[in-house]
Amino acid sequence: MSVLCLGEAIIDLFCERPVASLAETDSFVPHCGGAVANAAVTAARCGAEASLAGGVGDDAWGEWLEQRLRSEGVGLRWLARMPGFPTPLAFVLVNEAAEPDFIVYGEGIEAGILSLEEGLEEAIDSHDAVLFGSNTLLGARERALTLRAREVALATGKHVLFDPNLRMRRWRDGSEPVEMTAAVLEGTTLLKVNREEAELLSGRPDPAEAAERLVEMGARLVAVTLGPDGALLRGAASADAPGVPARAIDTTGAGDVVTGVLTAALSNSGFAHQAAADALGPAMRAAARATEGWGALDSLPKDIRTR
């Protein structure tokens, strides 16, 4: 079964050494980026049929991204090349704790999602599931389109997968992303959150209790990642996975990798809930490997097993 990944592909420019500030940088190296694009590539490496829906600039960086996504087997029928919009760039600074910080330039994320306004229903109709995140919920127009995609998917019997991937400082009002996320949980096949997001959205500090609360709020499956402590899954299927040792230098996109592995496991199984539970351990192993290089994808195996 196929998954339409609705969201952004951007250029991540990494300073490939730990730094405390931009003033300490001396060079940057390009990598494929964007939370939804990372998940789509990961799903494709797991053998799933995944397409990326959005847009990149009609420029050299857009061509660079398109070539790499195509080489990964990601479907690009719904990825537009947008004249007049430069491909977004994110300068990524990683500290000694392997934690990234992003400085993003360009409006291509918003323009990319809006490029689907005319063909949204056709794109959804040609897939079995839709995956989205919160980056396309920030502005009014792209939010309306993303919510329309969710509604169309649910109304036509498609599966909806949601990884909020909240960047709280991007929101003017801290309550807005919490309310927005709560409003889209009903009918969601899979919600993937990290420990902090689980507590923020549920009000429960204990991750297992938070997951169970999020199931009560409407998600069929809730996966909570716990960093080096592993992950848990609750809802229509349950699992607990231990953390996997890693020589982490950069945790960028590790959560996107988990989303991609779980998405592939569900898609490849015809959306059997137990498949997500079975894939939780492999998802932890893939995420650990992803932290051992720069960017989410370059140290990730090309062939990922989901069981």
- 2-290: what fold? UDP-N-acetylmuramoyl-L-alanine:D-glutamate ligase (3.40.1190)
pLDDT bin (cut points 50, 70, 90) of residue 168 is low
**DSSP 8-class letter at 128:** S
Tell me the C-alpha distance between 272 and 171, whole Å.
Answer: 35
> How would residue 304 be classed by pLDDT, with cut points 50, 70 and 90?
confident
Distance CA 305, CA 307 (A): 6
**pLDDT tens-digit map of 228-244:** 999 999 999 999 999 99
Residue 84 neighbours by CB under 8 Å, 6+ apart = 58
Predicted local confidence at residue 117, as pLDDT: 86
Give which of 138, 150, 215 is closest to 184, Cα–Cα.
150
60-110 tens-digit pLDDT: 999 999 999 999 999 999 999 988 889 999 999 999 999 999 988 876 677
Q: Which of 56-65, 119-128, 152-161, 168-177 has the lowest mean pLDDT?
A: 168-177
Query: Rounded to whole angstroms, how far apart are CA atoms 280 and 70?
Result: 27
- Answer positive or negative: Cα dihedral of 190, 192, 193, 198: positive
* Predicted confidence (pLDDT) per residue in 172-226, tens digit: 777 888 888 888 999 999 999 999 999 999 999 999 999 999 999 999 999 999 9
pLDDT in the model for residue 84? 86
Q: What is the pLDDT of residues 247-294, one digit of tens each?
A: 999 999 999 999 999 999 999 999 999 999 999 999 999 999 999 999
> What does the pLDDT read at residue 108?
60
How high is the pLDDT of residue 223? 98
| Nearest to 130, CA basis, from 199, 187, 68 | 187
What is the reported pLDDT for 107?
A: 65
Decide: 214 and 185 in contact? Cβ < 8 Å: yes
Which amino acid does the sequence have at 93? L
Structure tokens at 91: 């300068």
Structure-block tokens of residue 175: 């309550």
Query: What are the tens digits of pLDDT across the range 6-25?
Result: 999 999 999 999 999 999 99
CA distance linking residue 215 with residue 189, whole number of Å: 10
Bridge partner list, 254: none
pLDDT the model gives residue 12 = 95
Domain ranges of the chain: 2-290
